[in-house]
């Protein structure tokens, strides 16, 4: 990858924060899947390369959470470890047949979010819910490898079928630049987990 005059070689799950107004060129010798997320910003933030090998050594960026039936593993790629205006990006994979984004939580006053499902080879699939009220959900849908779901607001738990994992990239965009860029600051649905989300390890200290 070339970003303006900078050359960057990437490995699996490495990430790059690319400044606004940059020229980017990507070349590869093999087939590769890339995910690109963007959000408008008023200010300029530096080019930053994040190696997954370093993420894996940081318990504030790579951690497991959840109990029986909702065990999952989080990887924060572009979060408190970089300087940015609006974007927070990472990925989650569950234990087979488990729920993620559990207990149900929402963060609509700070962030909107998008899920992109990957590493879910056929016949794996999951169910994604998005709702403000469980009696009248905005979305209940089957999700498979390559699908995407937009989550502008609402609680958004999902679950994998037994014997298979659910795995998804998540990208969040803060409403107010810098000020709202906060991972793990959420409202947990009343009645679940005494208000704890399981995301506390990823919060800024």
Model confidence pLDDT, tens digit, residues 91-120: 999 999 999 999 999 999 999 999 999 999
- Give helix then strand counts, H and E, for the chain: 1, 17
What is residue 81's predicted lDDT score, i.e. its pLDDT? 97
What is residue 196's predicted lDDT score, i.e. its pLDDT? 87
**In the chain, how many domains are there?**
1
What is residue 26's predicted lDDT score, i.e. its pLDDT? 93
CATH of the domain at 110: 2.60.120.10
Cβ neighbours of residue 199 closer than 8 Å, sequence gap 6 or more: 65, 74, 105, 183, 184, 186
pTM: 0.95
Rounded-to-integer distance, Cα 31 and Cα 125, Å: 24
Q: Quick one: average pLDDT of 126-148? A: 97
What is residue 193's predicted lDDT score, i.e. its pLDDT? 79
Q: Quick one: average pLDDT of 73-87? A: 98
Residue 195 has pLDDT above 80, yes or no: no
160: exposed, middle or buried (Cβ count in 10 Å: 0-12, 13-18, 19+): buried
Give the pLDDT band of residue 83 (cuts 50, 70, 90).
Answer: very high
What is residue 205's predicted lDDT score, i.e. its pLDDT? 74
Identify the domain containing residue 106 by its residue range.
Answer: 2-202
Round the average pLDDT of the chain to a whole number and report it: 96
């Amino acid at each position: 990858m070339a970003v303006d005059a900078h050359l960057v070689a990437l490995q699996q799950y490495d990430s790059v924060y690319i400044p606004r107004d940059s020229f980017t060129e990507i070349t590869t010798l093999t087939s590769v899947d890339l995910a690109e997320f963007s959000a408008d910003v008023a200010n300029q933030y530096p080019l930053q390369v994040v190696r997954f090998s370093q993420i894996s050594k940081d318990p504030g960026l790579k951690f497991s959470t959840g109990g029986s039936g909702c065990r999952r593993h989080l990887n924060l790629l572009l979060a408190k470890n970089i300087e940015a205006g609006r974007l927070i990006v990472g990925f989650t994979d569950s234990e087979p047949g488990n729920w993620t984004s559990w207990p149900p939580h929402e963060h609509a006053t700070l962030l909107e979010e998008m899920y992109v499902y990957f590493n879910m080879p056929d016949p794996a699939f999951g169910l994604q819910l998005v709702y403000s009220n469980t009696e009248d959900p905005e979305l209940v849908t089957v999700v498979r490898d390559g699908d995407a779901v937009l989550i502008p607001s609402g609680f958004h738990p999902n679950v994998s079928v037994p014997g298979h994992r659910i795995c998804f990239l998540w990208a969040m965009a803060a409403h107010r630049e810098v000020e709202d860029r906060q991972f793990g600051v959420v409202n947990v649905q009343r009645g679940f987990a005494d208000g704890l989300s399981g995301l506390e390890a990823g919060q800024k200290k």
